[in-house]
């Protein structure tokens, strides 16, 4: 069985030790290194590889945001789970846009870290529940009218007008029954459009739609 190689970057050795202790009992996970600052992270990845980088944001010398920006600038396709004491929506959006695949609040890292690693390794996004709630709430509150976005945008290239209508209402967190009432279509038709959106945009769920919208500057 191939093990998932994980590198941990945080400016607190105690936290690194704690994560290593949690992961040590996982047969499919191998710790391949750790760093106490962002500069060391970049130096390590210049000559080494890891499947997953667990990355703190507030680190000396080079912070986590700069590490992500460096990966993006240099075309490095690194799967990164951000681990932070701060879970404000602005920060979550920023790290998503520059390449993070997951976001964990440090307060719940111990119970969620294994699940996060496995999900991100399999190509999915992962967020702890508190982060997910904030992301969806912000997605609704800061919703940008899709009608104002250029129809030439790649976001619309594969969507039908009705799928766009459904997406607008999903963004406002309406459920299928509410959408069916709003658009005067059946609930089954709404569910079909939901499935088509998820398939076309290659996401897993409504959170995935939110992430897609964030990365395409819709919110």
Span 8-47, pLDDT tens digits: 999 999 999 999 999 999 999 999 999 999 999 999 999 9
Q: Which of 99, 128, 157 is the last residue of a domain?
A: 128
Contact 167, 197 (CB under 8 A): yes
Shared-domain flag, residues 25 and 117: yes
Give whole-number Cα distances, 210 to 97, 108, 112, 155, in Å: 12, 22, 21, 13
Q: Which of 72, 93, 128 is the last residue of a domain?
A: 128
Shared-domain flag, residues 208 and 180: yes
Shared-domain flag, residues 90 and 165: no
Shared-domain flag, residues 102 and 157: no
Half-sphere exposure of 182 (CA within 13 A, CB side): 16
Number of domains in the chain: 2
Residue 12, pLDDT score: 92
Looking at per-residue pLDDT, the higher value among 63 and 105 belongs to 63
Looking at per-residue pLDDT, the higher value among 97 and 6 belongs to 6
> How does the average pLDDT of the chain come out, rounded?
81
CATH number at residue 183: 1.10.10.10
Shared-domain flag, residues 8 and 91: yes
Shared-domain flag, residues 55 and 10: yes
Q: Decide if pLDDT at 198 tops 80.
A: no
Pairing of strands 4-9, 29-35: parallel
Strand partners, 7: 33, 53
Shared-domain flag, residues 13 and 102: yes
Average pLDDT over residues 165-191: 86
Residue 137 lies in a domain: no
Shared-domain flag, residues 114 and 151: no
List of residues 6+ apart from 113 with CB closer than 8 A: 19, 22, 23, 54, 81, 104
Q: What is the pLDDT of residues 93-112, one digit of tens each?
A: 788 888 898 888 888 777 88
With cut-offs at 50, 70 and 90, classify the pLDDT of residue 219.
Answer: very low
Residue 136 lies in a domain: no
Shared-domain flag, residues 11 and 78: yes
Average pLDDT over residues 105-129: 86
List of residues 6+ apart from 25 with CB closer than 8 A: none
Continuous H helices in 62-155:
64-73, 89-97, 109-121, 129-141
Give the domain extent around 190.
143-215
CATH number at residue 96: 3.40.50.2300
């Amino acid at each position: 069985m191939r093990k998932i190689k994980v590198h941990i970057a945080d400016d607190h050795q105690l936290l690194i030790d704690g994560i290593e202790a949690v992961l040590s009992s996982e047969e499919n996970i191998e710790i391949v290194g750790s760093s106490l600052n962002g500069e060391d992270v970049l130096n390590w990845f210049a000559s080494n590889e890891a499947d997953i980088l667990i990355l703190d944001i507030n680190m000396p010398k080079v912070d986590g945001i700069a590490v992500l920006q460096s990966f993006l600038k240099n075309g490095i396709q690194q799967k990164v789970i951000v681990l932070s004491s701060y879970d404000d929506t602005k920060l979550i959006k920023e790290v998503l846009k520059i390449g993070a695949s997951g976001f964990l609040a440090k307060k719940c890292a111990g119970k969620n870290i294994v699940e996060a690693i496995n999900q991100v390794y399999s190509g999915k996004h992962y967020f702890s529940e508190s982060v997910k709630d904030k992301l969806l709430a912000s997605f609704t509150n800061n919703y940008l009218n899709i009608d104002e976005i250029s129809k030439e945008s790649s976001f619309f290239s594969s969507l039908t007008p009705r799928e766009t209508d459904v997406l607008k209402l999903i963004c406002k967190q309406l459920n299928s029954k509410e959408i069916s009432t709003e658009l005067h279509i059946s609930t089954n038709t709404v569910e079909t459009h939901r499935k088509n959106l998820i398939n076309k945009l290659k996401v897993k769920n409504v959170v995935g739609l939110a992430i897609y919208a964030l990365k395409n500057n819709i919110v």
